[in-house]
C-alpha cells in the first residue's frame, strides 16, 4: 500500500518535534484560529490526532479521514472536545453527502504525485461550501534555499523507505488554488520560511 504511515505512526510526532521543534504545531494552531464555533470541519491526514486536543469545545462537527489504521487508533485516544467522526479510508475512497464549512489538510499534499494531487484537490473542492475556508499547511519549495532542498530530499528518501509515499517532490499547490479561483486571505511562514500555513477562501 502506498502512503502507509502505519510502521512509523508511534514515532511520528517524536521525529517531527525533534526536527522541526514546535513549527509544525504552531503552523496548524494558527490555522485553527480561523475556525468559527458550530461549524463543520473535514480534516484529512490528521496523523496521530494531536490536533484534536488543540480545538476548543465549540460545537464543531469534525470528520477525520485517515488512511493509516495506526494513526487512527492513536487519534481516537486523544481528548476530544467536539463531535468527531473517524473515517478509516483514503481520501481517494472517501465519499461525502455533505459540504463542509472548513477543510484542513495539514502536510497531506506532499504525499501525492502531481496527477493524484490534482484529482484529490478537485474532490476536496467539491466537499467545501462556497465561501468556506481551506486551511492548508505544507513545506515550501524554494530552489534558492540549499538547506531546504537538502532537507526535502532527505525527507522524501526517508518517507519513501518507511511509508512508501508516492511523491518525490512537492506539488504546485498555489497553482491549484489559483486554477480553482481561491482567494488567499491569510498566510504565515515558520521554520525559516520552510513551512507555510495558508487560508484559502472558496469564492465560486
Which chain residues interact with ligand SAM by CB under 6 A?
3, 5, 16, 24, 44-47, 65-68, 71, 90-92, 106-108, 111
Q: Do 11 and 30 form a contact (C-beta atoms < 8 A)?
A: no
CB of 125 to ligand SAM, least distance (A): 16
Quote the CA–CA distance of 30 and 198 in Å, as a whole number: 9
Which burial class, exposed, middle or buried, applies to 109 when counting CB atoms under 10 A from its CB (0-12, 13-18, 19+)? Answer: buried
CB of 67 to ligand SAM, least distance (A): 4
- 46 or 132: whose CB is closer to ligand SAM? 46
The three cell numbers locating residue 76: 481516537
- 36 or 164: whose CB is closer to ligand SAM? 164
- 93 or 203: whose CB is closer to ligand SAM? 93
CB of 17 to ligand SAM, least distance (A): 9
- 85 or 178: whose CB is closer to ligand SAM? 85
Which burial class, exposed, middle or buried, applies to 78 when counting CB atoms under 10 A from its CB (0-12, 13-18, 19+)? Answer: middle
CB of 203 to ligand SAM, least distance (A): 26
CB of 86 to ligand SAM, least distance (A): 12
- 90 or 113: whose CB is closer to ligand SAM? 90
The CA distances from residue 124 to 138, 146, 180, in Å, are 16, 33, 11
Give the angle subtended at the CA of 127 by the CAs of 110 and 77, to the nearest 5°.
Answer: 65
Amino acid at each position: 500500500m502506498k502512503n502507509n504511515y502505519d510502521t512509523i505512526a508511534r514515532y511520528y510526532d517524536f521525529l517531527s518535534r525533534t526536527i522541526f521543534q514546535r513549527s509544525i504545531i504552531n503552523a496548524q494552531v494558527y490555522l485553527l484560529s480561523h475556525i468559527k464555533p458550530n461549524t463543520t470541519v473535514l480534516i484529512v491526514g490528521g496523523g496521530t490526532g494531536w490536533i484534536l486536543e488543540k480545538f476548543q469545545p465549540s460545537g464543531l462537527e469534525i470528520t477525520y479521514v485517515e488512511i493509516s489504521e495506526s494513526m487512527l487508533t492513536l487519534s481516537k485516544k486523544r481528548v476530544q472536545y467536539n463531535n468527531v467522526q473517524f473515517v478509516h479510508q483514503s481520501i481517494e475512497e472517501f465519499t461525502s453527502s455533505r459540504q463542509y464549512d472548513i477543510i484542513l489538510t495539514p502536510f497531506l499534499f506532499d504525499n501525492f504525485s502531481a496527477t493524484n494531487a490534482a484529482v484529490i484537490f478537485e474532490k476536496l473542492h467539491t466537499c467545501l461550501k462556497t465561501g468556506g475556508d481551506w486551511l492548508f499547511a505544507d513545506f515550501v519549495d524554494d530552489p534558492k534555499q540549499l538547506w531546504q532542498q537538502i532537507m526535502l530530499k532527505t525527507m522524501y528518501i526517508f518517507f519513501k523507505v518507511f511509508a512508501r509515499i508516492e511523491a518525490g517532490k512537492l506539488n504546485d499547490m498555489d497553482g491549484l488554488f489559483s486554477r480553482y479561483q481561491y482567494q488567499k486571505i491569510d498566510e504565515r511562514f515558520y521554520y525559516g520560511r520552510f513551512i507555510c500555513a495558508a487560508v484559502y477562501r472558496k469564492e465560486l
